Amino acid sequence: MANSFTEENYLKIIHNLSGPEGAEVSTNALAEGTATRAASVTDMLKKLAEKGLINYKKYQGVTLTEMGEKLALKIIRKHRLWEVFLVEKLGFGWDEVHDIAEELEHIPSDRLVDRLSAFLGNPQFDPHGDPIPDAKGNMPTADYLKLSEVEIGDKVLMMGVLDHETPFLQHLDRSGIMLGCRMEVREINDYDRSALVLIDDVKTLFISQEVSKNLLVQRL
């Protein structure tokens, strides 16, 4: 039997909450992530365990099985490829594509995904800088640091965002911060960790820690 949208969303959210080490995810965390109640989560976990997609023991939290992990990566691959399509081909802003991709990610057909990927030039990263797993589930690695972690004088490239919500992305747009731009940290205020940053060698900008904590960068 195929998997419902709901089941796919659970897998994706378990994957995301589970982090790179595949840690256990709690029922409550999932209730929060799926915007449902803990009781509903328990029901769904039983079903996913039944299907062999998660490891579940009562009261012990869940992890994805190998099969569940594969499926989660497939959904994430679709999500991110569609985001690339929407931005690169249809001209959407990076702040507009997440919600549409939430729907498109559930369209089945492996051939569709692979052809879409080829059409887009097999991109490695989505419009938010997130890595796109290949057809086999391999994620391009990229170990970035947060802008809030770099020091005065460091020169970095802006490589991704941690907050994917529209208001944050629009704030970056208004500030002229975009993927690939060059940043040089000029000052860091001890008091609130806000920073003065030179963008693309032309413009200086004040960036609050609130913002710099959500910017992924790479040292030059």
Partner DNA sequence: AAATATTTTTAGACTAATCTAAATCTTTTT
Partner DNA sequence: AAAAAGATTTAGATTAGTCTAAAAATATTT
Q: Which region, judged by CB under 7 A, interacts with DNA, from 1-9, 128-136, 153-161, 204-212?
A: 1-9
List the interface residues with DNA, window 8-27 (CB under 7 A): 26-27
Site residues (vs a copy of itself, CB under 8 A)? 86, 89-92, 96, 100, 103-104, 107-109, 111-112, 115-116, 119
Amino acid code (one letter) for 159: M
Which of a copy of itself, Mn ion, DNA, none has residue 45 at its interface (CB below 5 to 8 Å by kind)? DNA
DSSP string, 123-140: -SB-TTS-B---TTSPPP
- CB contact burial 160-187 (16+ within 10 A = b; e otherwise): bbebbeeebbebbeeeebebebbbbbee
Q: Minimal distance in Å, beta carbon 100 to a copy of itself?
A: 5
Q: Minimal distance in Å, beta carbon 119 to a copy of itself?
A: 6
Nearer to a copy of itself, 46 or 115 (CB): 115
Give Cβ neighbours of residue 197 (< 8 Å, ≥ 6 apart): 147, 183, 184, 185, 186, 204, 205, 206, 207
DSSP-based three-state secondary structure for 161: strand
Q: Which of 11, 14, 45, 207 binds DNA (CB under 7 A)?
A: 45
Q: Which region, judged by CB under 7 A, interacts with DNA, from 39-47, 72-80, 143-151, 158-166?
A: 39-47
Give Cβ neighbours of residue 87 (< 8 Å, ≥ 6 apart): 93, 94, 97, 127
Q: Minimal distance in Å, beta carbon 86 to a copy of itself?
A: 8
- Phi and psi at 74, nearest 5°, equal -65, -40
DSSP-based three-state secondary structure for 165: coil
Q: Minimal distance in Å, beta carbon 169 to DNA?
A: 27
Contact positions toward DNA, by CB under 7 A?
4, 6-7, 26-29, 34-47, 56, 58-61
